[in-house]
Amino acid sequence: MIKILFVCHGNICRSPMAEFLFKSYVRKRGADSHFYIASAATSMEEIGNPVHRGTRAKLNQLGIDCSGKRAVRLTGADYDKYDYLIGMDDWNVRNILRIVGDDSQSKVWKLLDFTERAGEEIADPWYTGDFETTYRDIMEGLDGLWRHLEESGEMNIE
């Protein structure tokens, strides 16, 4: 089983969008039993809060239910629990490393690092209100992540 944790600052916009989009993505490919997918925050600001209304609206538009999701915080123990800890931007990655310590197993990535836009960041709708751009960025990253998992041989789904 491949365990993936998507991470952003508050766990109410980008990381839950990535979590629920990737859950839908793998389900449509008949691979959901091969994955454990979740999301978390690097800050304490939104802990316990539901998914942002803009992210909920975009997911609902796609027929994806995220009800019941509440913001949780990344812990140091998550480094051992997950195969991939995927941040949305440089600040997230810095904070992930601050929380988990050394990335000796190369588990920490930015989502767009799996694309031709490596090094770029997922647009933050908290500041822009533009959930559509965030959605497109995340989908590009998820397509790249899927290809990475196929090409690396980590995913053996028949």
Task: Render pLDDT for 80-137 as a digit per residue (tens, 0 to 9).
Answer: 999 999 999 999 999 999 999 999 999 999 999 999 999 999 999 998 899 999 999 9
CA distance 14 to 92: 11
| Full strand arrangement of the beta sheet holding 35-41 | 35-41, 2-8, 84-87, 108-110
Q: What φ, ψ does residue 8 adopt, rounded to 5°?
A: -140, -170
- What number is the average pLDDT over the span 33-46? 97
14: in domain: yes
pLDDT digits (tens, 9 = 90+) for 21-37: 999 999 999 999 999 99
pLDDT at 158 over 60: no
Domain extent for 31: 2-152
Q: Which of 13, 14, 66, 78 is catalytic?
A: 14
46-77 pLDDT, tens digit per residue, is 999 999 999 999 999 999 999 999 999 999 99
Query: What pLDDT score does 136 carry?
Result: 98
Cβ distance 141 to 122 under 8 Å? yes
Structural domain includes residue 158: no
What's the pTM value of the predicted model, to 2 decimals?
A: 0.96
pLDDT (0 to 100) of residue 157? 59
Q: Is 65 a catalytic residue?
A: no
In the chain, helix, strand, coil percent, each to 5?
A: 45, 15, 40
* Residue written as token pair 């123990």: 77
Q: Is 53 one of the annotated active-site residues of the chain?
A: no
The domain tally of the chain equals 1
The 10 Å CB-count burial string (b at 16+, else e) for 33-68 is eebebbbbbbeeebeeebbbebbbebbeeeeeebee
The per-residue pLDDT for 153 is 78
Catalytic, out of 78, 89, 113, 124: 124
Angle at 106 between CA 104 and CA 111, to 5 degrees: 145
Does the residue 97 lie in any domain?
Answer: yes
State yes or no: is 66 an active-site residue: no
Supply the angle between the helices 14-28 and 53-61 in degrees, to the nearest 10.
20
With respect to residue 157, please indicate whether it lies within any of the assigned structural domains: no
Check which CATH number belongs to the domain holding 36 and give it.
3.40.50.2300
146 assigned to some structural domain = yes
With 80 as the cut, is the pLDDT of residue 155 above it?
A: no
Residue 58: predicted pLDDT: 98
Percent share of the chain, pLDDT over 70: 98
